[in-house]
Every structure is written in structure tokens, then in C-alpha cells.
A and B are shown apart, each in its own frame.
Chain A
């Protein structure tokens, strides 16, 4: 039985739209550009922000202090930390860094009431940019994007479901659960139609 050899293949939640084959160099020709940032690493972290043991241990493992202000995020050398709730964070990094990050956290948090979960299969991210990016998102979400300053992340609605949103490179990142990916992408495409919608090549994110 030890002679089993496999070549596992990963698919991102928006795999079936073949975005890679449709992507274009970003220029001024379209009002809105978007694409999926596929197969990132996502780690859910729960803990008590008032517990210094917890925050210190997390800082030691992550190299950065957890953001604790409402709706805040920080960028780190390895990715991003989003505060989703007073006792809940989402860490987003390259997929290759995920296991190490998770193990470091788990090791640092032994004996401290907390929860560390690999949720990488369960999320994806789409970036939206271009001169009409906020117009398009105002068709999709009830949140006032003028209030979405740099360094802020909000959980809000998107069509009839919900997402996390923050500013990113003169545009926005939209983070959401895998099973809603098809709906969210179609809703985004439909909403962007009047502004002319392009699939951006990934380098432009």
C-alpha cells in the first residue's frame, strides 16, 4: 500500500469562471477591473483581547500585535490581520505560509483560552479596482464606502449575502466564503455591466 502516488490539485472557489484565461492588462479602457486572488491561506483566530497572556502570545507568534480597535486591520510582513469582531480575527497569508503560521500560533497559545483554525478551504478574496470601483460596490453593499478609510475592514452585506470589505491599492478587497463565490462573482459582474467590466491580470492587484 505504500506505493500509492498522487498528484493533488487545488481549485479556488472561482475556478469554474476560468478567470485566468480571460484576464487582461489593466488600462483606462474599463470602469471596473476585478479578479480573484485565489488559494490564499486563511486562519480564524478567537481569543480574549483583554487577556494580556493571549495578546502577548499571539504577538509573539505572529510578529505583530493583533489589531484591537473596532473594524481595524494591519498589514504584516506575511499578510494581513483583520479584526472581525472584538474576539475574532482573520489572518490572511500566502497558502505556503499558512501551516507554519498556524503551528506557531497553536504552540504559543497552549493553555490560553483561544481557537486557531485553518479555514483556507472556506474563503476567497476578490479585488475590485478602476475608476468606477466604488460605484459598482455601492450597487452591491449597503455600506457607505466613503466611511471605509484605509486601515478599516467591515463586515457588511453584498447582494443578499455578506462579505468583508477593505480598501486596497486604490480599490477594494472583498473577502467571502467559498460557497457564495459563484453568487458574489455573478452579482459583481451584473452590477458592473454599465461601467464596462474587465478581468484584471493578477499582477495588478
Chain B
């Protein structure tokens, strides 16, 4: 029952307007046919599922229908930001660079 700021609608909205779309930044391998079964299986099924900060995709299903990225703490539902898909990668990379 948290509130998410949709970066497209540009205002905070109730969780009921959104749907969860899983972990963010799981890119589809460019050459699926060259992947081993194990590599392809990792892409399909292996998720981070951390306790703590998690970068994930949400869709604004009742609103603008856009997918976007949210940084959410899975332990306490704190939300640290929401970005459009085009902005999110830079935010994520900047944070990873700090670690």
C-alpha cells in the first residue's frame, strides 16, 4: 500500500494504480542461439531477490501504461526514486559506480 511517483504522470499515485513487472535491467541476450542452456536459464529464471534495495520495473496500468524503474527497499518498502526507462539506466550505473 505504498505510493509511487510515476515519472511520466509526474505525481505520486497509490500502489493500486500500478502492477509489478519484476527486476529491472534484465537485458535479453543479443544472440539467444549462442547461449548455453545454463546461460539462457540464468536469463530466464535467476532473479536477485535481495533483502534491501532493489531496482525493479513497475507499470502504471491504471494510468499512462508506461513501464518505468523504481528503486525500492524490499525490507521496509521505502522508495528511493523512480525513473523513466531511458533515464533509469544512467541512475543505476551511477549508483553501481559508487559501490
Do A and B touch (CB < 8 Å)? yes
B11 touches A147 (CB 8 A): yes
Question: B11: which A residues are within 8 A, CB to CB?
Answer: 70-71, 147
B16 touches A154 (CB 8 A): no
CA of A142 to CA of B11, assembled, Å = 14
A71 touches B9 (CB 8 A): yes
Cβ of A126 within 8 Å of any chain B Cβ, yes or no, is no
Question: B10: which A residues are within 8 A, CB to CB?
Answer: 70-71
Among the 9-residue stretches A10-18, A96-104, A155-163, the one with 4 or more Cβ atoms under 8 Å from chain B is A155-163
CB-CB nearest in chain B for A158 = B62
Indicate which residue in B8, B14, B62, B65 contacts A70 across the interface (CB closer than 8 Å): B8
A143 touches B8 (CB 8 A): no
B64 touches A162 (CB 8 A): no
Question: In chain B, residues 54-99, which have Cβ atoms closer than 8 Å to a Cβ of chain A?
Answer: 60-66
Give chain A's interface residue range (CB within 8 Å of chain B): 10 to 19
Cβ of B23 within 8 Å of any chain A Cβ, yes or no, is no
Cβ of A86 within 8 Å of any chain B Cβ, yes or no, is yes
Beyond A70-B8, A71-B9, whether A154 also contacts B63 by CB under 8 A is yes
Indicate which residue in B13, B14, B17, B66 contacts A85 across the interface (CB closer than 8 Å): B66
B62 touches A85 (CB 8 A): no
CA of A66 to CA of B89, assembled, Å = 29
The smallest C-beta distance from A162 to any residue of chain B, in angstroms, reads 4
Extra pairs beyond A85-B64, A86-B66 (10, CB < 8 Å): A70-B10, A71-B11, A85-B8, A86-B8, A86-B64, A88-B64, A143-B13, A154-B63, A155-B63, A162-B62
In the A-B complex, the 7 residue pairs with the smallest Cβ-Cβ separation, listed nearest first, are A162-B62, A85-B64, A155-B63, A142-B14, A70-B10, A142-B16, A157-B62
Binding site for A on B (CB under 8 A): 8-11, 13-14, 16-17, 60-66
**Interchain Cβ contacts under 8 Å between A and B, 15 examples:** A70-B10, A71-B10, A84-B64, A85-B63, A85-B65, A88-B64, A154-B9, A155-B9, A156-B13, A156-B17, A156-B62, A157-B16, A157-B62, A162-B17, A162-B61
Binding site for B on A (CB under 8 A): 70-71, 84-86, 88, 142-143, 147, 154-157, 162
